[in-house]
Amino acid sequence: MDWGMKNRLSQLIKPNGRCMFLPIDHGYFQGPTSKLEKPGETIKPIIDYADALFCTRGVLRACIPYQNSKPIILRVSGGTSMVGKDLANEGITTSIEEAIRLNASAVGMSVFIGSDYEHQNLLNLGKLVDEAERYGIPVMAVTAVGRELEKRDARYLAMCCRIAAEIGAKVVKTYWCENFDKVTGGCPVPVVMAGGPKTNSDQEVLEFVYDGMQKGSIGINLGRISGRMNIRLP
């Protein structure tokens, strides 16, 4: 691994091997979703506790101050919406040159494994890895399930994570599930945990986060959940 790649990964993952990524990219397919109508305002109380911010180029330019910013993981896939026919029909929307121009520490894209667009998604991931590796930029693959939330089980997510890693992702973001150690145990690159099941309390969020961290996740990538929790930070 070249110096540039190592340096960028070290910006995202702390010396203790842990990380907290703050995703505010939901608008790329959901529009102004709850708690993220004004992403720049939403993150103000919690941004100091994040190690990196996951967002699109539009929100980055419009909402995030350039002075003393957190490392950026730039979302580079999209092309679908909640009102469209199939969320899985994504393509690459942002070039590596644009990521370099924005001084991104990494780029991220979704893969919908098992969907009608699986082949397209995985080829796009491979092409993105090829381009990103040329400039020493790590790729984070996001194992997306669209509207099919029942797919969030260990066997399926373990397969998704392994495939993403095999194609060249340096980090994989995936959902928490029961038996999460089966997901992390079969993935040769770091796994970062996204949301899990629908929760009714902060305590339930903390419980699934704790379970995932004990079972191999190096950190969390929680967006709207982080914004709505009522835990008092120091």
Q: Which domains does the chain have, with CATH numbers?
A: 3-7+18-228 (3.20.20.70)
Q: Which of 173, 182, 198, 215 is catalytic?
A: 173
Determine the average pLDDT of the residues in 186-212. Answer: 88
pLDDT at 224 over 70: no
- Work out the pLDDT band at 152, boundaries 50, 70, 90: confident
pLDDT at 222 over 50: yes
C-alpha to C-alpha distance for 117 and 136, rounded to whole angstroms? 28
The residue with greater pLDDT, 94 or 230, is 94
Q: What pLDDT, on a 0 to 100 scale, did the predictor assign at position 229? A: 43
pLDDT digits (tens, 9 = 90+) for 155-177: 999 999 999 999 999 999 999 99
Q: Does the annotation mark 173 as catalytic? A: yes
Q: What pLDDT, on a 0 to 100 scale, did the predictor assign at position 195? A: 76
Residues sharing a CB contact under 8 Å with residue 134, sequence separation 6 or more, in sequence order: 96
* Residue 111: closest CA among 92, 136, 132: 92
Strands 191-193 and 19-23: unpaired
Percent of the chain residues topping a pLDDT of 70:
91
Determine the average pLDDT of the residues in 140-158. Answer: 84
C-alpha to C-alpha distance for 87 and 99, rounded to whole angstroms? 23
C-alpha to C-alpha distance for 155 and 174, rounded to whole angstroms? 13
Tokens for 154? 């260990």
Each residue of 139-161: b (16+ CB within 10 Å) or e?
bbbbbbbbeeeebbebebbbebb
pLDDT at 232 over 50: no
**Residue 156 backbone class (left: φ over 0; alpha: ψ -120 to 50; beta: rest):** alpha
What is the residue whose two structure tokens read 């960028």?
Answer: 8
